[in-house]
Amino acid sequence: MDESIKTDRLGAEDSTEQRIFEAARDIFIQKGMEGAKMQEIADRAGLNKALLHYYYRSKEKLFEMVARSIINRAIPVIRKTIESDEPLHQKIAGFIDFYINLINHNPFVPLFIVSEMNKHPDSFYEKIMPIGVPKPQIFLKQVEEAIERGEIKPIKPEHLLINVVSMCVFPFLGKPMLRIVLSMDSAELKQFYDERTEVVKQFVFAALRPD
């Protein structure tokens, strides 16, 4: 089972175009638009610079393709979970399960998206628009109704949503910090991330449990 956010194209054709795209994705994710160099991408793909331009015309266009592909893959996941109308508890649990698992397989994607959003919020918005901005209304309403029925402790729905997302995403952004501060080795880190799903679920549901 491979949850990696790879590319838009289906199948695993090992075309030159594909190899360039994958090399570019890795480098852009790691170093950002300005930090990435065409030479480095070419080296990683095992080709020369000229070919990058042959297939993608310019660095900017190549970056566009990569960014779009990553966003196209990540956003629908959020949308689907947030917009579905399954029961609240189930939805939250499913969201945590799926989201942590997804990031676990694509640990650098959140930083890429967060950086992109902060540096170029407008171009990001344009990329998101066509595939549809996640609409949290259903979720927010579900929370309010659950509160009215006394099923969960009162909390502003927006804060609940952010709390859940924070605990899913941030540990991956702060991975190097964890390493240093908690002085964990690779094995301990892996275990830590494997435990996360259950821990976050328990934490959230404990926080929501009414008196």
Partner DNA sequence: GTCTATAACTCGATAGAC
Partner DNA sequence: GTCTATCGAGTTATAGAC
In sign, the C-alpha dihedral spanning 155, 160, 163, 167 is positive
d(CA 148, CA 167): 26
Give the one residue of 121, 132, 145, 150 binding its own copies; rule: CB under 8 A.
121
Taking the least distance from each CB to its own copies, the nearer of 105 and 156 is 156
Site string for its own copies, 171-200 (x = CB under 8 A): x-xxxxxxxxxx---------x--xx--xx
Contact (CB, 8 A) for 132 and 93: no
In three-state secondary structure terms, 66 is: helix
**Helix-then-strand count for the chain, H and E:** 11, 0
In angstroms, give the least distance from the CB of 50 to DNA.
3
Q: Which stretch binds its own copies (CB under 8 A): 3-11, 18-26, 56-64, 122-130?
A: 122-130
DSSP 174: T
CA distance 168 to 100: 6
Choose, by CB under 7 A, the member of 4, 8, 60, 177 that binds DNA: 60
Do residues 70 and 113 make contact, with C-beta atoms less than 8 angstroms apart?
yes
> Which residue matches tokens 């979970």?
81
Interaction site with DNA (CB under 7 A): 16, 36-39, 47-51, 53-54, 57-60
Contacts to its own copies by CB under 8 A: 30-35, 108, 111, 114-115, 117-119, 121, 124-125, 128, 133-134, 136, 153, 155-156, 158-159, 161-163, 165-167, 169-171, 173-182, 192, 195-196, 199-200, 202-204, 206-209
